Amino acid sequence: MSQRSCLSVILAAGEGTRMKSAMPKVLHAIAGLPMMAHVVKAAEAAGATGVVLVIGHGADEMRKAVQKFAPKAETFVQEKRLGTAHAVLAAREAISKGYDDILVMFGDTPLIDAQALAAARQKLAEGAAVAVIGFRPPSPAGYGRLIEKSGHLIAIREEKDCSDEEKKIGFCNAGMMAVTGKHALRLLDKVGTKNAKGEFYLTDIVEIAGAEGLDVVATEESFESALGINNRAELAEAEAIWQARRRREAMLSGVTLIAPETVYFSHDTEIGTDTIVEPNVWFGPGVKIASGAKIRAFSHIEGATIASNCDVGPFARLRPGADLRNKAKVGNFCEVKQATIEEGAKVNHLTYIGDARVGAAANIGAGTITCNYDGYSKFFTDIGEGAFVGSNSSLVAPVSIGKGGYIASGSVITESVPDDALAFGRARQKTIPGKGKELRERLASAAAARKKAAAE
Ligand code: UD1
Ligand code: MG
């Protein structure tokens, strides 16, 4: 089958009114990736050699998103929404290039998997002219019903056009289908508008192909993978299904999730074997974790690279550009942004490290802050190998601390510190014997005098 060329035509011209959103429906994200990009990925994984998106509502915004998330895809505009067959024909130019298979998909059906699409394409390879992806939803209301006769699909009837008898059929049209390229345009051009909605229905090509004596079949997929999204409740449902699949995949690939239902992955999270993820961890986009890491509870991680055997959290925040090398530690209430924490370095408590390098085996004390921003520009802090930064220090960038440098607690460091130097950046302590007692007595008698005056 892999030798057959395939064009995926993804319909995404709809408004998605029920999302109640200024943004086109198919740009709403699942696992941080717009729905339409999930659909494009599935099409590519099913062997699509060309991908086309039919857009309409919010065309400019759609084009930008396609450029960013699916740059290989071409867009065609459907000016008026006259039905699903009409929408497919908006891509006539691409279809007429002569592909073996045309895979029609919906931009709002993000959980469709490559196997379901490949199964439909397989039917074409075996000689069918059209293969429709069917499913059995808990309630068939609202879906087109698949009418079969001795293993062949003879018609798809939209709910509004169904007889009472046909409405009882539970096997429904998921919306997606594979059509052989050599027949596609001819079949689509024969579609009319004689139906309750007066639209050009893609589903009509089933009867049209049958009348030409061509073979039409249905495949069956799970309800989950054919779930169409119309509102934000369904969006959340799809997110939950996606996350459940991904968690399972992670666990089966050797990652321990102690409370899987509380860990959220991004569409692109990479996580190595023997990593342990404690409860309530959020992975935003762009996270890569090698093996043997420990990600402790309530950590929020995005755009970060975490090498082997690192220890992160609890309550750590790793932001884009955080680069933790082997055995680095970033502990509770620490934030790291655009910074490298080299091998074995420790940033354990209540610290902000931004635009910086923390050298191998350096130790950053509690409450250390890299002051990287003056309100206009960002500056770099370089901390050498084996340096020790005492608690509650402010490192005012640009500044560097040499290898083995030692910073006294509570310092405000504004000048670079050479290798192996000790730097104090704070006022010297003054201790006056007996002065504490004297002060306390003075304060007590003043308070007593005020109290007496108030009573008179
Ligand atoms: C469609 C199917 C129905 C199936 C259901 C599954 C048809 C005629 N009906 O119905 O059998 O059970 O999906 O969810 O195909 N679109 C356009 N331009 C248009 C019309 C639609 O781009 O002119 C796009 C929509 O944005 C959407 C997709 O096509 O992504 C499906 O359209 P929709 O109106 O949701 O079709 P349904 O009535 O749900
Ligand atoms: Mg729909």
Which residue puts its alpha carbon closest to atom 26 of ligand 1?
A: 14
pTM of the model: 0.93
- Centroid of ligand 1 to alpha carbon of 89 (angstroms): 14
Say how far apart CA 410 and CA 392 lie, in whole Å: 5
To the query of whether residue 349 is one of the catalytic residues in this protein, the response is: yes
- Centroid of ligand 2 to alpha carbon of 455 (angstroms): 80
- Centroid of ligand 2 to alpha carbon of 16 (angstroms): 9
Which residue puts its alpha carbon closest to atom 22 of ligand 1?
A: 13
Q: Is there an atom of ligand 1 within 6 Å of 54 CB? A: yes
Please state the atom number of ligand 1 nearest to the C-alpha of residue 204: 8
Q: Which whole number is the average pLDDT over 152-175?
A: 96
Residues near ligand 2 ion, CB 5 Å cutoff: 228
β-strand partners of 46: none
Which residue puts its alpha carbon closest to atom 8 of ligand 1?
A: 201
Could you read off the pLDDT of 285-315 as tens digits, one per residue?
999 999 999 999 999 999 999 999 999 999 9
pLDDT above 70 for 97: yes
For 205, the enclosing helix (H) or strand (E) is helix 205-211
Q: Which whole number is the average pLDDT over 84-102?
A: 98
Q: Is there an atom of ligand 1 within 6 Å of 47 CB? A: no
Q: Is there an atom of ligand 1 within 6 Å of 340 CB? A: no
User: What ranges do the domains of the chain cover?
Assistant: 6-220, 232-423
- Centroid of ligand 2 to alpha carbon of 228 (angstroms): 6
Q: Give me the CATH topology for the region 232-423.
A: UDP N-Acetylglucosamine Acyltransferase; domain 1 (2.160.10)
- Percent share of the chain, pLDDT over 70: 100
DSSP for 24-76 reads -GGGSEETTEEHHHHHHHHHHHTT-SEEEEEEBTBHHHHHHHHHHH-TT-EEE
| Whole-Å CA distances, 256 to 116, 253, 274, 292, 304 | 29, 9, 7, 10, 20
- Centroid of ligand 2 to alpha carbon of 65 (angstroms): 21
pLDDT above 70 for 266: yes
pLDDT above 80 for 77: yes
Helix axes 114-125, 35-45, angle to 10 degrees: 40
Ligand nearest 202 Cα, by number?
1
Q: Is there an atom of ligand 1 within 6 Å of 202 CB? A: yes
Q: Is there an atom of ligand 1 within 6 Å of 328 CB? A: no
Average model confidence (pLDDT) across the chain: 97
When pLDDT is cut at 50, 70 and 90, the band that residue 2 belongs to is low
Cα angle 171-177-182, degrees, rounded to a multiple of 5: 140
Ligand nearest 197 Cα, by number?
1
Could you read off the pLDDT of 201-221 as tens digits, one per residue?
999 999 999 999 999 999 999
Provide the token pair at 445. Answer: 């008698």
Is domain 6-220 classified as CATH 3.60.150.10?
Answer: no
Of the candidates 96, 95, 90, the residue with the CA atom closest to the CA atom of residue 78 = 90
Q: Do domains 6-220 and 232-423 have the same CATH topology?
A: no
Ligand nearest 11 Cα, by number?
1
Q: Is there an atom of ligand 1 within 6 Å of 140 CB? A: no
When pLDDT is cut at 50, 70 and 90, the band that residue 136 belongs to is very high
Specify the residue for token string 């059209």: 130
pLDDT above 80 for 410: yes
Q: Which whole number is the average pLDDT over 49-78?
A: 97
- Percent share of the chain, pLDDT over 90: 98
Q: Which whole number is the average pLDDT over 98-127?
A: 97
- Output the CA torsion 270→273→279→285 (10° steps): -10
- Residue 3: its pLDDT value, please? 87
Q: Is there an atom of ligand 1 within 6 Å of 158 CB? A: yes
- Residue 151: its pLDDT value, please? 87
pLDDT above 60 for 444: yes
Q: Is there an atom of ligand 1 within 6 Å of 175 CB? A: yes
- Centroid of ligand 2 to alpha carbon of 121 (angstroms): 22
Could you read off the pLDDT of 325-334 as tens digits, one per residue?
999 999 999 9
Provide the token pair at 210. Answer: 């049958």
